[in-house]
Amino acid sequence: MLPTDLKEKFDLIHAAANLFLHNFGPQFTKTPEGHIETDIIGASSIAGTLILRETVKDLDKYTPGTAILSEVYDDQNEVLKFVTGVALTFGVNLMEHKKKKHNFEKIIDSHQPLITPLEMTRILEPKLVKACNDNNLSTDYGAFVAGLTAGKLIGVAIEYGMLDSNVSNELLTYYVIAGSKTVPYPFHNDN
């Protein structure tokens, strides 16, 4: 179960998200101009991973990459509602996509990440934990920090015409859900 005192902790969540945001861009994808889809997918995937870690405490006994079914729907919904609500404060309406009819699989297929989500979570999880720790924030809030980071990346993508809100929201939703159902590598904090 994820924490519910988000209003009280918002300033810390926001500060940790700003710190975590510095891990994305060209240095993350190792490309000259970066790859916004990979960035959004990375932040979304780690949000899902942390939902799964909160729900299933003995993940290390499973093989990384294995799909696992658990009771994560409520937590997925809470993180996605949080990101959608905060995005509105940035002037980004992620609910706009609900009005459009689209092919979910086609969107996902045409916006593949440069790094596998499983590898991204291995790279990003220690960095997210550090961002939380540096802001005196328990990692119980990590899914919200990662979700807010994804929301900020989506805002940039939309503002600069890299992606529209439909594609951005589909990437966010799909990879939060996928991350919360995919066994990550065992956590090792290298910081």
Task: Give the per-residue pLDDT at 189.
Answer: 65
| pTM tops 0.85, yes or no | yes
Task: Give the per-residue pLDDT at 71.
Answer: 77
Task: Give the per-residue pLDDT at 89.
Answer: 72
Q: Environment class of residue 5 by beta-carbon count within 10 Å: exposed (0-12), middle (13-18) or buried (19+)? A: exposed
Q: Environment class of residue 119 by beta-carbon count within 10 Å: exposed (0-12), middle (13-18) or buried (19+)? A: middle
141, two tokens = 């809030």
Residues facing 67 on adjacent strands: 182
Task: Give the per-residue pLDDT at 169.
Answer: 84
Nearest residue to 183 (alpha-carbon basis) of 1, 41, 44, 52? 52
Q: Which residues of the chain have pLDDT under 50?
A: none
Task: Give the per-residue pLDDT at 98.
Answer: 54
Task: Give the per-residue pLDDT at 99.
Answer: 53
Nearest residue to 84 (alpha-carbon basis) of 134, 55, 135, 47? 47
**Rounded distance between C-alpha atoms, residue 107 and residue 174, angstroms:** 10
AA letter at 44: S
27, two tokens = 């240095």
Task: Give the per-residue pLDDT at 38.
Answer: 96
Task: Give the per-residue pLDDT at 55.
Answer: 85
